[in-house]
Structure 1
Amino acid sequence: MQQCHQSGDRRGRKTPDHADFEQADGRLTLVATDLEIQLRTSVDVQMHAPGATTVNARKLADIVKSASQDAKIALRQTDGWLEIDIGTGVFRLASIEAESFPQMTIDAATQSTVSITQKNLYALIDKTQFSMAQQDVRYFLNGLLLEVKPGQMTAVATDGHRLAYAHLSDERLTENNRQVIVPRKMVSEMLKALDRDSDNEVSLAFRDNQIELLIGENYLISKLIDGKYPDYARVIPQANSKILIVSKTELKQVLQRASILSNERFSGAYFHLSPGRLMIESSNAEHESSKETMSVGYDSGNLKISFNINYLLNILAVIESEEVCMELEAPESSVLIKPVMTGDIDSKYVLMPMKL
């Protein structure tokens, strides 16, 4: 019920915030959509007669959540109303005929399907989604690239200033080469629906211009972004020669303190690197400043380079390894950031320096 409420959208809808309910053959099926993304889920119920109606999903979800955990909930449909009996009380919601509820047009033919564990799909998305662009005129950057090849799946996101890459090798992935760009809202809904710790498998179905995620009885389907994603491999540095090894925890703490006195608009900080030493410096328009030094693994020449603090913190938040490797080259060159120790998911991040 909560998932159906979250998948609705007010804009341009004849039935804003509503969900469609249909009882048939001992099953209750719920559908919510904004015509770009649609959720369909079914549960077993005891029913007296088939029927269908449309009600406000948010109100119904709030009513159901307020009931005790062991409550038996009964739904009764009358002319223009849906009654919800939670045992201790009866609630009466206005309803609309099911025929008025708009639904997405679903492409008939599924072109291909892949299976993947919930935790691996969650990790691929979670480690990359923060780098998606927002409302960029290059519309293909406003989504997440999913690339499937035999034995592997890759997720990529970039906004032109940073790039996030995550790769999974899994021999159970038998799909031939396919690239799709998943819209931001579908990415968000997938993260909500997936269990980050579950080894249970889910299915991803690909159609002409749609992607569908199947988790048990939950079907989440979305339109895809129509466009060609840029060649991400070309922007991943291959020959940066200056290697910095740093504690993730310590670097996060220093960056968080540096952000206090950084420019509120640009949130930048200088990295001053010398053998065995990193000094992070920030300042703002009021001429307030901070300088903090930490011991690091670095044996190359002196280097001064500046970064967006928030972008760095976003990257550190999804790296699981305690030690982080940063491969640098020059003040104007992009840096490659990756965990020192990797698990099932191989991740790496490209960050462009700032001009302060």
Structure 2
Amino acid sequence: MKFSIEKSVIAKAIAHASRIVEKRSTIPILANVVLRADGAELSLRTTDLDLEASLTIPADVDVAGATTVPATLLSDIVRKLAGDTVSFVMEAGGDSIMVGAGRSKFKLQCLPEHDMPDLNVGAFSHDFTMPAAHLKKLIGRTQFAISTEETRYYLNGIFMHAADELGRPVLRAVATDGHRLARVDVEQPHGASGMPGIIIPRKTVGEFDKILEAGDVTVEVSDTKIRLTAGTTVITSKLIDGTFPQYEKVIPTTNNKVAIADATAIKASTDRVATVSSERGKAVKMTFSAGNLHLFVSNPDMGNAEDDVEIDYDADDLDIGFNARYINDILNNIDSKRARIILGDAGSPAIIRDEEGDDTLFILMPMRV
């Protein structure tokens, strides 16, 4: 195998591929990246057995071939090389490869390509193409609510499924950690109807979010795996093997008190008063009254803080407590300038939506204050 490639191109590609590599893997091959040179392209592939990334970049290939080299080490070397072009030459026997640029040369030990596991085996039952912006919306507005509690592993990802919203077919993403819930809908792509409900792991969600740009993406799913193709990058991942809770049961149906307010103003006010709250609790007492939202925090060790925000509200007065960080996480994902906060009583979850549009819904559990 012999090829050369622009330094900037391979540096970006290997940095991307290296993110998948587990730094402390006990299986040597999993620390490596597959390099396959053929035609006028170089493909790179890494996996941690649960997640796989592959991408293709242009290269000047003199002799086709494939091998694997340590991913993190190669990334460090390429980043530090001088010059604009990096050359790769496999030595006789295939046990090592020379990597060089300018006067610098490195000899790296190789492992055979066939030792690298491949997650792309097996069939996918559903495939569809959708705008990258739609998938980015599904992921971007729900991933903050993914649970980090490992004992409830089935909450450690985003639940995605085909749904029907008032007679309109949608593709829906849901995430919850038990304290807040995020649900986002986009127009259902052709081919997504009847797809199984899947739970996409947190790490996979993060990788998807990093590669989504303008244009369309192709999504393929089965009961156990998902594959996303965006341009020349392909991410394949195992799914979480578990049952996502019946989230619809936690969405209140009797809340009848509606407050509409500037989301930025509430975030700023909440952040101000939470300055004196305890790091553990972050509890903020909110009093909704005609035209006004009063925020109050009391911390016996530090003092009190209070603030007011003008709102549109004409229902009965209501005192309710929320976690400051949780409510601001939700308000950060409100699309329009103003938010609709739909309340029941002090013990009922609040529904938070954009003032206009119903594609996004958030649920926030109250706190005792």
Aligned twin of 2:9: none
* Aligned match for 1:24, one of 10, 15, 38: 38
Contact 1:107/1:210 (<8 A) preserved: no
Task: Tell me how far 1:285 sits from its aligned partner.
Answer: 4.1
State the number of aligned residues: 349
Are 2:325 and 1:310 equivalent residues in the alignment?
yes
Equivalent-residue separation in structure 1 for 2:235 and 2:103 (angstroms): 33
5 Å-filtered alignment, 1:193-342, equals 193-195=211-213, 198=214, 200-342=215-357
CA RMSD of aligned residues (A): 2.1
Q: Secondary structure at the match of 2:339?
A: strand
Equivalent-residue separation in structure 2 for 1:222 and 1:316 (angstroms): 30
Aligned twin of 1:6: 19
Q: Which amino acid aligns with 2:221?
A: F
Q: Which amino acid aligns with 2:312?
A: G
Task: Tell me how far 1:174 sits from its aligned partner.
Answer: 4.6
Contact 2:34/2:113 (<8 A) preserved: no
The TM-score, its normalising length taken from structure 2, stands at 0.88
Task: Tell me how far 1:316 sits from its aligned partner.
Answer: 1.1
Higher mean alpha-carbon deviation, 115-124 vs 95-104, is at 95-104
Q: Which amino acid aligns with 1:85?
A: G
Aligned twin of 2:162: 148
* Aligned match for 2:136, one of 86, 111, 122: 122
Equivalent-residue separation in structure 1 for 2:110 and 2:54 (angstroms): 19
Contact 1:81/1:92 (<8 A) preserved: no
Task: Tell me how far 1:327 sits from its aligned partner.
Answer: 0.3
CA 1:257–1:4 in 2, change beyond 3 Å: closer, same or farther?
A: same
Equivalent-residue separation in structure 2 for 1:52 and 1:234 (angstroms): 52
Q: Secondary structure at the match of 2:327?
A: helix
Structure 1: unaligned runs, 5 residues or longer: none
Are 2:200 and 1:182 equivalent residues in the alignment?
yes
CA 1:101–1:19 in 2, change beyond 3 Å: closer, same or farther?
A: farther
CA 1:41–1:119 in 2, change beyond 3 Å: closer, same or farther?
A: same
Equivalent-residue separation in structure 1 for 2:26 and 2:63 (angstroms): 33
* Aligned match for 1:95, one of 109, 133, 147: 109
Contact 2:142/2:175 (<8 A) preserved: yes
Contact 1:149/1:174 (<8 A) preserved: no
1:65-122 Cα deviation digits (max 9, x unpaired): 4568x92322122254333333x34341422222474324434212110111111101
Aligned twin of 2:11: none
Are 2:360 and 1:347 equivalent residues in the alignment?
yes
Higher mean alpha-carbon deviation, 142-151 vs 257-266, is at 142-151
* Aligned match for 1:75, one of 88, 104, 118: 88
Q: Secondary structure at the match of 1:178?
A: coil
Task: Tell me how far 1:50 sits from its aligned partner.
Answer: 2.2
Structure 2: unaligned runs, 5 residues or longer: 1-13
Task: Tell me how far 1:245 sits from its aligned partner.
Answer: 0.7
Equivalent-residue separation in structure 1 for 2:367 and 2:194 (angstroms): 39
The TM-score, its normalising length taken from structure 1, stands at 0.91
Task: Tell me how far 1:15 sits from its aligned partner.
Answer: 3.5
Are 2:150 and 1:136 equivalent residues in the alignment?
yes
Equivalent-residue separation in structure 2 for 1:244 and 1:33 (angstroms): 48
Contact 1:280/1:292 (<8 A) preserved: yes
Task: Flag as ranges the 4+ runs of structure 1 deviating above 6 A.
Answer: none
Higher mean alpha-carbon deviation, 300-309 vs 136-145, is at 136-145
Q: Structure 1 vs Structure 2: percent identity of aligned residues?
A: 27
Equivalent-residue separation in structure 2 for 1:72 and 1:136 (angstroms): 45
Equivalent-residue separation in structure 2 for 1:244 and 1:223 (angstroms): 42
